[in-house]
Structures are given as structure tokens and as C-alpha cells.
Structure 1
Amino acid sequence: MPQSLDYQSGFRNHFTTEALPGALPEGQNSPQQVAYGLYAEQLTGSAFTAPRSHNLRSWLYRIRPSVAQSAYLPLGEGSTATAPLSKPAADPNQMRWDPRPLPDAPTDFIDGLLTVAVNGDAGTQTGCGVHVYAFNQNMTERFFYNADGEMLIVPQLGSLRLRTEFGEIEAGNGEIAVIPRGIKFQVRLAEGHDTARGYICENYGSPFELPGLGPIGANGLANPRDFQTPVATYEDISGDFALVAKFSGRLWVTQLDHSPLDVVAWHGNYAPYKYNLANFNTINTVSFDHPDPSIFTVLTSASDTEGMANIDFVIFPPRWMVAEKTFRPPYFHRNLMSEFMGLIHGEYDAKAEGFLPGGASLHNCMSPHGPDANTFEKASEAELEPQYQAATLAFMFESRYAFQPTETALSADFRQRDYVDVWQGLKSHFSPDKR
């Protein structure tokens, strides 16, 4: 079957797609006999009794049902971790990492995962895990699904070809892809790329959704029509395949005698999707002060407390900086929310150096942070004229829960252990005799 990279547009729409004409039943999801001898299988991403507006499910019509597999066996943990961690404890120190080095030995996506920090508890479906990936080898005989959470993938270097049960997605620098909990997929390098690196937010909590717009009104931030979901495709291949599952913090593996990407048709609103961050309609100040980062929210995962997100996915894209008689970069701040930040490309306006594409920083709950000394001095004397932040794209995973960095991330050679020194040059300008 030819592979398809076509897409359907819209966020959480009810999609209908088939790779063979008439593969989708009419009027009944699970008829006594499905066309083409297919099996009907339902995949649900919400509780059965969730409100209709938040009920997530899709019907899959596939060559073999998912139960056609061997028993699961434990697989080595690799460099991944899941919340909660027994140690180390969450740390108030500001932390920063250089870009993770690319692998020399052949490494696929699963083996190339490294957990930087986690929070909450995957078992109670709260919080998230933050990972970085770096790989140079396609997954061919291995497939993967995550029962602990959905995966928001942020490519930084190289483009990915995500082969899922629902069809294919290609995502590169400046785009994101989301693989919902439980969906089987395979990660390969897109044509013309020999290595890839990026970030992942593993969301243990409620699925990502678009934030409310409130006083912004109908237009602004991310528009539903710009989210793209793949159309159905399939492969009917026999062989020796392994399906790796992340379940309750551990990796498991089961054997298959066929490719699990054998869905000929599907319909529903629970499916993988991609989004081009260039389509984000940025709202910014035109009078004074720097707006809170919440104004840059692309996707949010709600918690049980209104207004306090389990996770917000926030971006800082190219934008005009316009404000009167005020400090332009982000001000010094201490937050209730904890912030994990990464840089996709370009420079971030609050840091003079050291925050590099592929790198990351962590500022936990109430830990002070803000512009480094060089940025503060420069911004304090800059001409207050309209400026366009052009070659930049940063993002933030912001959570109500404090992040626990993993021992692997704390001891990594690419951790910047002198990060706190960037603020040491902030000297006193106080003069009681001069206003």
C-alpha cells in the first residue's frame, strides 16, 4: 500500500477516513461482518462516562486485532524514568543544560530517549515527564506505545516520520506532533535526514486541548483548523516484530508476527496530530510591561483546580516587541508554576549566551530567574523603538507541580554547573539621592 502523508484539518474534530473504498461501515460501528474481512476495534482515550465534549474515542478497522500478540515481558529501562521518583528530591536550584550530544553508535528512537525531569505521579494521572531524544537509526522491526501518557514531540534537529496506526505524520523544526496515550507508532528519519534530536513532554494527566480565549475573543493564539490529523493508510506485512510498551513506569515488550500498522479505515476524535508553530497568532503588548507567558499558550492540560494547569505548552515565536517606557525582556520573577524551557532555534531575548538550540533550563516553583546580567544592562539602555524578534523559537513546559530532575540529568556531562553565575554581575544601582 503506498504510504500517505495527507492530512485532515481541525482540532478534536470527528474524522472519517479510509484507505479502501467502503471500508468504513455505514450506520453501525461493529457490524457482524466488516468489509474486506477486517476486524472492528475501539480505542478510547477518556473515561466512558466523560462529558460528551471531552469524550475521546476512535473506531479502527484493521487486518488483525491488537490482541493477536504474545505475552508481555519486561524490557530494560534504558535512560527513561517515570514519576514519582524515590530520589533525588525536587531541587530549588536553577539548572541549565547544553544540547544533548548526538549518538555515534546506531541508536533508534526508543534507545535514544533520556529523561531530564518528572513531576506528579503517572499512576494517579497527574503531572508529566520531560525527555530529550537523539537518534540516528530508523525503527524497522520495533514499534512503540505509551500507556502512561500522551507524548508531545518537539523536533529541534532533523525531521521525523511518525508512522502510526492512524496514518503518517512528518514533523520537523518549527512543528510539533502529539501521539495520544496507547496509540502504536514507529519513528523514522524523514527523507534526507540522518540524525534527529528534540524534546518530549509525556503528559500523564488530562489530554492536551486548546486553552480558552476569554477576553482575547474569537481570534488569536492557535486556531483549530491548523491542527492536522493523518488520513488512513495501512501495511499488510508478516514477519518478526516487537511491540515495546511503556506501562506504569516500566518498559515491556511483546512479539508480533505482523506489522501493527494495519488499520485500513478509522473514524473518531482520538488520533495523533501535528501543528506548525508558525501558524500561532501571537498576542503581545502595545502599551507597557511584558505579558505573562500564559498569553503564549498553544496547548493546555487541565488539573483538578481551575486556572492551574497540569501542563501548559507555551512558545515564544518570532514577534514584534512594542511597549512604552518599560523594560522589554521578561522581568525578574518568581512563580508558583515550575518551568522547563527549551530552544528550538535562534536566540532567546532574555539570555545573552549559554542558552543554545537543543539545550534546556529548569526553574522550579518560587526559584528566582530572569534576564542575565548582560541582557539586563543592554535592555536598560536600549532605544525603546519597535523591534521584531525574528530568528527565534523557544518553548516552555509549565506545570503546577515541581520537577524532579533525574540522576542521569544531574550528572550529565552536558549540564552547565555554573549556570547560577549568569546573574552574579547584577550589581546595585541604588542611589537614595538620585531619583
Structure 2
Amino acid sequence: MSSELKYQSGFGNEFSSEDPRCPGALPEGQNNPQKCAYGLYAEQLSGAAFTAPRTENQRSWLYRIRPAVLHEPFSKIDSGNVTHNWDAVEPNPNQLRWQPFDIPKKVEKSVDFVQGLSTICGAGDAKSRHGIAIYVYTCNTSMGDKCFYSSDGDLLIVPQQGILSITTEFGKMVVAPNEICVIQRGMRFNVMIEGETRGYILEVFSDHFQLPNLGPIGANGLANPRDFLTPVAWFEDREMKEYEVINKYHGHFFKARQNHSPFDVVAWHGNYAPYKYDLKKFMVINAVAFDHADPSIFTVLTCPSLKPGVAVADFVIFPPRWSVQEHTFRPPYYHRNCMSEFMGLIEGKYEAKEGGFKPGGGSLHSMMTPHGPDEDCFEKASNADLNPQYIAGGTMAFMFESSFSMAVTKWANDNKVDKDYYLCWQPLQKHFNPNWKPAGKEEKSYTF
């Protein structure tokens, strides 16, 4: 598959793409000619209302062998561990941590990407297009003659173990750990894998992901638009007895059958398309004098709410970087937040909890629930010699942060919960000394 992979760079660009096997498949001068080249059908996929402002309007024109409507009626099927029923269990404000989620063994049961989806937490309502859901996927086999799409929202996929070979209506992508991809509402895709595979997904019902505004940072920094890659057109004209189209709608799964591959788009143009991004290309901003800067400086993508400065969801990473602050407790500070924070670990050891927080697991610190470094991290950081230090080497942690107060599902309450998580803070000691006198701050010179 690697020999077939081609990408176009840029975030939110107006792209034009046609499979080189059919030159001239893209019409010139209009979107919907009376007869398309090669006998294709023209079909528009809209990611925004027709009347949305030009800067927010998202749509793509697809020129395909058969229109997407050519399938049998949908019927409801088992949704497995996927749910949007946020009231099924009692609320739980405690700090929560999960050990790495188990990947089923193929010798026991074959589980593909869709079957391996499990909802961890979420809030809001897909029907009113306002809210989010967070999932883990654990699978051991490819999807075969099956595709999946969500009518509920955009899917931000974060592989943690195993490589995803994703075929979409727009072309092919390969997404490995330390990369992400976004497959937007309504886009059909198939996932092929080799071996055991695990990762995380953030679905936003409200709107689409965008790059955060840079403000005083200026024109450059964080994730650069040119580092986002969108696939180029690739099609297959393949007929078979039965192909399954799985639709996630209102948090439930529905299946329709058709007799051909849905990946028959010969050409397309527009600005509504799937994309991928390599997290190693993120340009880190950090404090160089004193204090620990807020985690918002690590935002890769954001889905804003209607309230300025407040996100439906942010995707934040904590990559390797230099730490040079003087007179500062360098790890994350103890904190209570009006946002909810779900964290996952792709690889390595997270600086604030090097012991119990493991790759393939996760944690949830709900709205206004206190959290911060464990006792071991606090003692080391409080007494460390504050020389310039390269931190998080070989590590990539991330956070799904949301203004929604999220509910945890029954499945997540019953699987891999670390019931001793709270114990990591219990050894913290009282250091209060009413006779303490401030010491002078000495300027230091550093040698690299």
C-alpha cells in the first residue's frame, strides 16, 4: 500500500485531486456538468450549512462511479460498547485512572476497528449537535468488506499501538503512533491493520476542529498548516455480493448492504476532507524565565464553542522539550479546573506520574476535581537542581480537554479502573513552617 500513498499538504485548503488513471475527471469551469467525464456521478459532501460564511463554509465535490445513495435500507444493529447514554450510571467526581485497555486475542475472537470501539466518557447530545464522546479502540483484525462513518460528529483518531491503513472516499492514509488523523462527519472509511492495535478517539458533535489562534505568539508556532496532509484521489471499481456500510447515528449503529465498494471516487475538489498530522512536527512554546505555562500552549487542534475562548474540546499534547525556568516548580501545578481533562499516553513516562500512568491507559480529572503531581514527583521537583533539562524524552502524552462535564460509561467503570489511583497523593506531607524566612534569590549561570 505504501507505494500508492500520496498526500497534499495544508490545513483547510481548497484541494483538487484526481486519480492519474483517469486524467480530466475533474470538470472545468463548473461543479455539476450535465454529463461528467468518464460517465461519473457528481455528488457534494457538505460539512457546513450552504449559507455559512465563506471563511467557515466546508464542502467537497466528489466525482464517483456510483452515487453514495446506492445501497439498501439501514437497519439497527448491536452497538457493542458504544453508547451516548450519559445517565446510565451514577455520577462520579473522583479522580479516575485506567490501566492499559486489553486488546482481544485473535485466537479467541476476531475484532475489527468498529467492533473494538468502547465509549469511556462524554456529554451532550448528538441529535442537537452539541457535545463530545471519548472512545478507546482495541482490535486485532482488518475490517474487510465493510466501511464506517459517523453522522454524529468528527473523529480525531490517536493511534497508540499498531499502524492504521485507512482507505477513505478521498484516498488512502497510513497513520502510525505519534501521528493523528481526523475523519470528518459523514466520510466513509475502512481500517486495515496488522497485529494488535489500540488507540483513542475524540468525537465532537458540535462543529469541526480548527487550528488555534496564535495571538501574541505571532505567525509561527504550534502546529503549522503545511504539516497537515490530505490524501489524493484513489478509487477502486470493485463489485461483490455484499458490502456493509455501518453508520453511527444518534449514538447507535445501523447497517446497510450494497454490492460495490464505496471507495469509487475518481476525482474530488473542495476543502472538506480527512487529514493526518505528525505530532513530532509540533513547534513547542514554553516558559524561558519562570513559572509553568498553562497547557493551552500545547494545543494542536481545537473545536471552539460559541463562547469566545471556551472550547467544546481541545486536543493538547505534551511532547519532548527543554525546561529552563528559574525559581520554579517545573511540573504541572496542583489544579482545579472548569474544564474536564481526559489524558492518554502514547509512549514513555509522563513527567507528573511516572509510575502508574501507562501507555494505552488513561485518566479523567472531572470538572473542579483537584489533581496534580504525585508525591514522588513533588519531592523530586521541589528539591531538584534547576539546570536546563530536557524533559519527556521518548514520551508523548496528550489531553482531550472539554468545557463539558463528562459522564463515565458503565463499561469504563467496569474495565481496567485503577482503584488505588488516589493513593499516589496520600503521602504528601505538611511542610508548613511559621518561622520560615525567605532566602535571597541568586542569579545562576548555566553551562550546556
Q: Same fold (TM over 0.5)?
A: yes
Q: 1:385 to 1:211 in 2, by over 3 A?
A: same
Residue 163 (1) aligns with residue 167 (2): yes
Residue 394 (1) aligns with residue 397 (2): yes
1:68: which partner in 2?
Answer: 70
Cα displacement string for residues 160-180 of structure 1 (whole angstroms, at most 9, x for unaligned residues): 001000000100111000000
1:151: which partner in 2?
Answer: 155
2:287: which partner in 1?
Answer: 285
Contact 2:164–2:174, Cα closer than 8 Å, also in 1: yes
Contact 1:4–1:167, Cα closer than 8 Å, also in 2: no
Residue 383 (1) aligns with residue 385 (2): yes
Q: 1:376 to 1:2 in 2, by over 3 A?
A: closer
Amino acid paired to 2:399: M
Structure 1 residue 2, shift from structure 2 partner: 10
Write the distance in 1 (CA, Å) between the matches of 2:278 and 2:434.
51
1:116: which partner in 2?
Answer: 120
2:413: which partner in 1?
Answer: 410
Write the distance in 1 (CA, Å) between the matches of 2:354 and 2:104.
28
Residue 179 (1) aligns with residue 183 (2): yes
Contact 1:158–1:197, Cα closer than 8 Å, also in 2: yes
Write the distance in 2 (CA, Å) between the matches of 1:352 and 1:63.
53
Runs of at least 5 residues in structure 1 that lack an aligned partner in the other structure: none
Write the distance in 1 (CA, Å) between the matches of 2:163 and 2:400.
21
Alignment of 1:27-426 (within 5 A): 27-82=29-84, 84-104=85-105, 105-189=109-193, 193-239=194-240, 240-389=242-391, 390-412=393-415, 414-426=416-428
Cα displacement string for residues 348-376 of structure 1 (whole angstroms, at most 9, x for unaligned residues): 11113100011100001110000001110
Amino acid paired to 2:112: D
Write the distance in 1 (CA, Å) between the matches of 2:77 and 2:345.
32
Structure 1 residue 17, shift from structure 2 partner: 0.4
Contact 1:3–1:168, Cα closer than 8 Å, also in 2: no
SS at match of 1:205: coil
Contact 2:86–2:408, Cα closer than 8 Å, also in 1: no
SS at match of 1:225: helix
Runs of at least 5 residues in structure 2 that lack an aligned partner in the other structure: 438-448
Write the distance in 2 (CA, Å) between the matches of 1:94 and 1:59.
46
SS at match of 1:398: strand
Structure 1 residue 411, shift from structure 2 partner: 1.1
Cα displacement string for residues 343-401 of structure 1 (whole angstroms, at most 9, x for unaligned residues): 01011111131000111000011100000011101111111011112111100000001
Structure 1 residue 3, shift from structure 2 partner: 7.4
Amino acid paired to 2:263: L
SS at match of 2:364: strand
Amino acid paired to 1:39: Y
Which deviates more from structure 2 when the two are superposed, residues 161-170 or residues 124-133? 124-133
* Structural RMSD (CA): 1.2
Write the distance in 1 (CA, Å) between the matches of 2:275 and 2:110.
28
Write the distance in 1 (CA, Å) between the matches of 2:127 and 2:62.
27
Cα displacement string for residues 208-266 of structure 1 (whole angstroms, at most 9, x for unaligned residues): 00000000000100000000000000000111101000001110000010000000000
Write the distance in 2 (CA, Å) between the matches of 1:2 and 1:79.
33
Structure 1 residue 86, shift from structure 2 partner: 2.4
Cα displacement string for residues 260-284 of structure 1 (whole angstroms, at most 9, x for unaligned residues): 0000000000000000001100000
Write the distance in 1 (CA, Å) between the matches of 2:428 and 2:136.
32
Write the distance in 2 (CA, Å) between the matches of 1:156 and 1:352.
18
SS at match of 1:53: coil
Amino acid paired to 1:219: N
Share of identical aligned residues, percent? Answer: 54
Using the size of structure 2 for normalisation, the TM-score is 0.95
2:10: which partner in 1?
Answer: 10
Write the distance in 1 (CA, Å) between the matches of 2:369 and 2:2.
52
Aligned positions, number:
430
